[in-house]
Amino acid sequence: MKLQTLISDLIEQKRDKFIKLSDKIWHCPEINFQEHQSSAYLCQALEAEGFHIEREVAGLQTGFIGSYGSGKPVVAILGEFDALTGLSQKKGLAKHEPVTPGGHGHGCGHNLLGAGAFAAAVAVKNYMKQTGLQGTVRYYGCPAEENGSGKAFMARAGLFDDVDLALSWHPSTIPIIWNVHTLANYAVTFKFNGKSAHAAAAPHLGRSALDAVELMNIGVNYLREHMISEARVHYAITDTGGTSPNVVQPHAEVAYLIRAPKKQQVKDLYERVYNIAKGAALMTGTSMEVEFEGSASNLIPNVTLANVMYKHLTAVGTPYYDQFDQQFAKEIRATLTQEDVHNDLAGLDKETALYLKDKAIADIIPPLGDISSLSGSTDVGDVSWVVPTIQCMTACWALGTPFHTWQAVSQGAMPIAHKGMLQAGKVIACTAIEAMLNPNIIEKAKLEWKDRMEGETYESLIPENITPPRKEMYV
């Protein structure tokens, strides 16, 4: 029996279990470092499958590792389960209707990511039991990918040092191998403190923290002309200091996300932004402090593993989408702009893009392309600095669906998403098993990884004095 057929059978036997787990996480969306219930669901499911659980790894309250087997090779399968703020949405609707106004929602599909990775780990474990294959499969429960970079804390703590290869995936709109360069990033919040006063009667007594925030943002916007074109700087004012215009604002905050292709470039750019913040504080007579929020290293691609994973992606093939799937996808697509759809097809070869341009669901696997560069970031990058790493994407949403939207949340507990999730689990499991059966694949992947590192070694962007935050369960 072909490996893909055997693994597909193993996963399909427990299909309902994997779907139920994904939906349970979808129904309790928890944001960064607060994923107490979601991580508990995954730990319980892993223990029920015979995995040994190590909790609160790397000082992460909601981080864990589930292990099965012993010895080499060691394969890491990465799972995520954090949600996003402000994206609450009822499932199965082609209109914006929150479950809880202002609440959280799985707008990046991490409920699927965590459960799909779990399906892969279970399939590898069952294959090992049936065949006597030696080695270790680990499920890494990685919190706070969106804002907090749980994997970066794990990598800094050395939790991947004995791993031979790492595999993951991400829900998307098109089934592809995600063999790309990403940007390293640094997320910080600048907090300004001043002095309140009556804005009309005694403005000279006040020192406006909001003025400092605005001056900082102006300075950074002028900086954009003088930084490398591949870099990105975004900000959001998270505290304006109050709502009364006749009071000089005594406090204000602004959150910054700084990105660049290389880690040293991020460090250098951060120093320039930091100096602008100091200047804003000097100009306004306020004080300033910096609070670290998270970081991610740039992703190191691996063609060796990409070729192996692509072989299994094409062999597993795309799921069957019935009339219900097609109709719902058409309704979601009707809520999107043509720009959304064009953006989705932009990186594809012409033949595939032409075939998909009028489709509601991507039911074809594009050719494996060359390594490309993305302007986004992921904390999987930190893992890739320690061990050869590869990821795939599968079609869990209608074509054109942007990440971090209510449309993604609406689809995240529907059959389209479940089918893409199970497809990813099969592909990851097949890739893991082939590498475990053929040590030369791991050896070749490591040689390529070493070559791409160009003599550099992993250094975390997380400041040495920073530990993971400890947060209570969100209610």
Among residues 153, 152, 150, 162, which one has the least CA distance to residue 70? Answer: 162
Assign 250 to helix, strand or coil: coil
Give 231-235's long-range contacts (Cβ < 8 A, gap of 24+).
Answer: 231/183, 231/258, 231/259, 231/260, 231/261, 231/265, 231/269, 232/183, 232/257, 232/258, 232/259, 232/260, 232/375, 233/257, 233/258, 233/259, 233/269, 233/273
> What pLDDT does residue 473 have?
58
Percent of the chain with pLDDT over 70: 99
State how far the alpha carbon of 299 is from the alpha carbons of 110, 111, 149, 267, 449, in Å.
19, 22, 13, 16, 11
Are 304 and 450 a contacting pair, CB within 8 Å?
Answer: no
pLDDT at 471: 73
* 7-63 tens-digit pLDDT: 999 999 999 999 999 999 999 999 999 999 999 999 999 999 999 999 999 999 999
Structure tokens at 406: 């209510």
* Cis peptide bond upstream of 463, omega within 30: no
pLDDT-derived band at 475, boundaries 50, 70, 90: very low
pLDDT at 470: 79
Average the pLDDT over 431-439 and give the result: 98
Sign of CA dihedral 438, 444, 446, 452: negative
pLDDT tens, residue by residue, 251-298: 999 999 999 999 999 999 999 999 999 999 999 999 999 999 889 999
pLDDT of residue 474 exceeding 80: no
CB contact burial 161-175 (16+ within 10 A = b; e otherwise): eebbbbbbbbbbbbb
* pLDDT per residue as tens digits for the range 76-93: 999 999 999 999 999 999
Closest CA to 102 of 117, 83, 89, 120: 89
Closest CA to 50 of 134, 3, 151, 118: 118
Mean pLDDT over the full length of the chain? 96
Mean pLDDT is lowest, of 79-93, 97-111, 457-471, for 457-471
425-431 mean pLDDT: 98
Answer yes or no: are the C-beta atoms of 394 and 423 closer than 8 Å: yes
Q: 298-352: per-residue pLDDT in tens?
A: 999 999 999 999 999 999 999 999 999 999 999 999 999 999 999 999 889 999 9
Calculate the CA 69 to chain-centre distance: 27
Give pLDDT, residue 431: 98
Give the pLDDT confidence of 206-237 residue by residue, as tens digits. Answer: 999 999 999 999 999 999 999 999 999 999 99
Handedness of CA 359, 363, 364, 368 (dihedral sign): positive
Name the pairing type of β-strands 372-373 and 389-395.
unpaired
Q: Among the residues of 377-461, which ranges form H helices?
A: 380-384, 406-411, 415-437, 439-453
What pLDDT is stored for residue 156 in this prediction?
97
Amino acid 293: pLDDT: 87
Coil, strand, or helix at residue 180?
A: strand
Alpha-carbon span 306 to 392, nearest angstrom: 9
Of the candidates 32, 2, 247, 63, the one whose C-alpha atom is nearest the C-alpha of residue 146 is 32
Structural domains of the chain sorted by starting position, each given as residue range(s) with its CATH number in brackets:
3-182+298-453 (3.40.630.10), 184-296 (3.30.70.360)
